[in-house]
Structure 1
Amino acid sequence: MTTTIFEDWLATPQGQYVLNWEMVKHDMLLADVFGFNAVQIGMLRHDYLRNNRMPFRFRCDSIIEPEPPCEVYTDIHHLPFSAQSVDLILLPHILEFDSNPHQILREVERVLVPEGQVVITGFNPYSLWGMRRHFGAARNAMPWNGRYISVPRLRDWFALLGFETRAGVFGCYAPPLRHEKWLRRWEFIEYAGDRWWPFTGAVYVIQAIKRVQGMRLIMPTWADRRARAKATAAVTQQITQTRMFASTTSEDENA
């Protein structure tokens, strides 16, 4: 339910300001990330993987909606993927609105292949938007009701799970204004923010790689990797069809 409400907020001028910046950064970051299986968790209405070239790309969430394309409906705290079977996982604004972000990250670590990558998007608590969350009157409204996670804390979590932080970027330096015309008047601050105070952007995108200490990574042949990727896709499709059939059967019985 939370992700649905958040996506509704993304349709507002504030949300569009954030979303447009995030999509541009993901397009740049993911264009050269290679592999076979990529998974986006949450944010079903927006394809953050649109510029990635992996042959098998899935979007999954625990919320069933009729319109957005969602290949897998599952509990995101227990992903239905085999250990070491996914090359890339995206978590756009998932951790800060979930009651158990550590479990999500543990699942991400489990299903990622060695040298696999995770990309996390979140709100920066050390920004004007973070101040708005603390001192604003509507702290129970989206997106101010999230538990904003700072980049240093994420890096600590990464280190505990064996991830190495590779890259990160901040953006959206304008104040959290509600009207589009006022946000446009603050466009000049984007260039100044990147140069003079880059760590105070409202939003960040951070990328990390799963490292396996003491292990020499021997990549299988391309044919073997493609076969494994197809197997993962087949299992995912079967899970989706089963869940959709169960949902349809339940609706027929209720009718």
Structure 2
Amino acid sequence: MLSKLDAGWFETPLGQHLLFREQRYFDQAVSDVFGFNAVQVGLPHIDFLRNSRIPLRVHCAVEAPAQVNADPMFLPFESQSLDLLLLPHVLEFSANPHQVLREAERVLRPEGRLVLAGFNPRSLWGLAHQLKGSERGYPWNGTFLNISRVKDWMVLLGLEVAGGSMCCYRPPINRENWLRRLRFMEPAGDRWWAMGGGVYFLQAVKRVQGMHVILPQWKHAVAPRLLAPAAKVLNSKVINLNQHRISREL
């Protein structure tokens, strides 16, 4: 997870470039999610829940200034208690990202929504990650995960992918003047290199398959027809018995 020194990276020109786009995406993603409880895991110094209409909003992380201090692999929330869960760059900085997703599935209510952000290894950011190495600090000291791999994990856990997007097509140059010069790459990337953004977003909904017994309709339709001959035979026997009884009396 991030330390205080890593959090300072978001104050750099490149960090501000990333934060502006991520904040815009999360603002849109959380605005139409309703419920009672919302939790953001990681990056506690950034409020990605600011545009949420859910009344109870909590920030959870290992470090301050989180309201709840906990490891994302072991969330201190009841099962099926959250309507919205955000994981901004949590998976790539976890020792067991699959366990983090497993915990996310556990704490989400049925039809609850998960929104996450991750660094894309198949991008210019991914190339910089390979060249710079972990000694360059955040975000290059994380393990960038392929979006297809994360989607596969979600499917296995019963989390249905409901949407996604990418951003940050510009190379990760930490100079404001160069970032301004290369701003044309953002709309061009969305059009020509859709899977090459430095950051991907995924939204997923927890689906719970319930068992509903459906009675076959043919039973109700066929049963009267099956019983009809027996009823006719019984009625004929009663009529014959009555006629025999009357003849004896006469």
After superposition, residues 169-188 of structure 1 pair within 5 angstroms as 169-188=165-184
2:121 is the counterpart of 1:131: no
Q: Return structure 1 stretches of 4+ with deviation > 2 angstroms.
A: 1-6, 135-141
8 Å contact kept, 1:119–1:205: yes
Aligned-partner Cα distance in 2 for 1:179–1:140: 16
2:28, 2:3 → 1: CA distance? 24
Give the deviation of 1:56 after TM superposition.
0.5
CA contact (8 A) 1:3 1:42 kept: no
Q: Give 1:179 deviation, angstroms.
A: 0.5
State whether residues 38 and 87 of structure 1, in contact with CA within 8 Å, keep that contact through their aligned partners in structure 2: yes
In structure 2, what is the Cα distance between the partners aligned to 1:209 and 1:215?
19
Q: CA separation in 2, counterparts of 1:159 and 1:193?
A: 28
- What SS does the aligned partner of 1:131 have? helix
Is the contact between residue 119 and residue 199 of structure 2 (CA under 8 Å) also seen in structure 1?
Answer: yes
Report the Cα distance in structure 2 between the residues aligned to 1:19 and 1:74, rounded to whole angstroms: 24
- Identity %, equivalent residues: 50
Q: Report matched runs for 1:107-118 at 5 Å.
A: 107-118=103-114
CA distance in 1, matches of 2:59, 2:126: 29
Q: Alignment RMSD, CA only? A: 1.5
1:145 alignment counterpart: 141
CA displacement at 1:6 relative to structure 2: 3.1
Give matches, 1:1-255, under 5 Å: 2-63=2-63, 65=64, 68=65, 70-136=66-132, 140-214=136-210
Alpha-carbon distance between aligned partners in 2 of 1:198 and 1:6, rounded to the nearest angstrom = 29
Aligned equivalents of 2:18, 2:72: Cα separation in 1: 24
Does the Cα contact within 8 Å between 2:29 and 2:115 map onto a contact in 1? no
- Separation in structure 2 between the aligned mates of residue 174 and residue 80 of structure 1, nearest angstrom: 38
Q: SS in structure 2 opposite 1:199?
A: coil
Letter in 1 for 2:107: V
- Structure 1 residues 192 and 215: CA distance shift in structure 2, 3 A: farther
1:38–1:88 contact (8 Å) kept in structure 2: yes
The gaps in structure 1 that reach 5 residues or longer are 217-255
The amino acid that maps onto 1:207 is Q
TM-score, normalization: structure 2? 0.81
CA distance in 1, matches of 2:5, 2:203: 26
Structure 1 139/195 Cα, relative in aligned 2: closer, same or farther at 3 Å? farther
Distance 2:59 2:89 in 1: 14
Q: Give the gaps of 5 or more residues in structure 2.
A: 213-250
Deviation of 1:205 after TM superposition, in Å, equals 1.1
Whole-angstrom distance in 2 between the partners of 1:138 and 1:82: 35
How many angstroms does 1:85 deviate by?
Answer: 0.5
Say which structure, 1 or 2, has more relative contact order (CA 8 Å, 6+ apart): 1
Deviation at 1:40, TM superposition (A): 0.2
Q: 1:57 to 1:137 in 2, by over 3 A?
A: closer
**By how many angstroms is 1:141 displaced?**
2.2
Give the TM-score, by structure 1 length. Answer: 0.79
